[in-house]
A = this chain, B = another copy of it.
Amino acid sequence: MDDGQPFVIPTAFARMEDRVVIHGSAASRMLKALVAGAPACLTVTHVDGLVLARSAFHHSINYRSVVVVGRATEIEDPLEKRRALDAIVENIVPGRAGAVRAPSDNELRATRAVWLPLDEASAKVRSGPPKDDDEDYALPVWAGELPLVTTPLAPRPDPLLPPTIPLPPHVSGWRRGGRDG
């Protein structure tokens, strides 16, 4: 939130025990507002499918979501900050953080990372078939679910990558693992 106007910005994150870390450029307006004490909300949503009912009214979406509210605090300690940034990379591609060049001191200074505590959070889940009104079950209307999944396609090497560098297990395994978001 910034001057009373909320802004919703897509961002990567990682959960570390009873808190979540998010990060960005030290110049990020969102992170500046957060460390200045703006009330924050972090929402993660997985869409699992469309729910087609017999009536327009009962159409829905199958999903899992978590809404976290609270105040963020800056991660100042360089070692703690390195661990938190590693956790974001590891949360998205396990095994990646140890395979790449670690942040330099300059990169660390150019990055802001904050904790958001998981003290106040709520989860919602909808799953399963539609729930129609009793009298609508007699209608000749197809009803059911259209499941949706997030699917990785074949990894696309950087055009500047020498062909001698093989695809590492943490990338090929990520694909086989079929993570859902």
The residue from B7, B143, B154 contacting A161, defined by CB atoms under 8 A apart? B143
Q: Is the beta-carbon distance between B59 and A89 smaller than 8 angstroms?
A: yes
Over the window 70-111 of chain A, the binary record of Cβ atoms lying under 8 Å from chain B Cβ atoms (1 yes, 0 no) is 000000000000000110010011001101111110010001
**Total copies of this chain within the assembly:** 2
A148 to B56, CA, bound (A): 31
The residue from B92, B100, B143 contacting A141, defined by CB atoms under 8 A apart? B100
A146 to B176, CA, bound (A): 12
Chain A residues engaging chain B, CB cutoff 8 angstroms: 1, 4-10, 12, 39-43, 45, 47, 49-50, 52-57, 59, 61, 63, 65, 67, 69, 85-86, 89, 92-93, 96-97, 99-104, 107, 111, 129-130, 136-137, 139-161, 165-168, 171, 174-175, 181
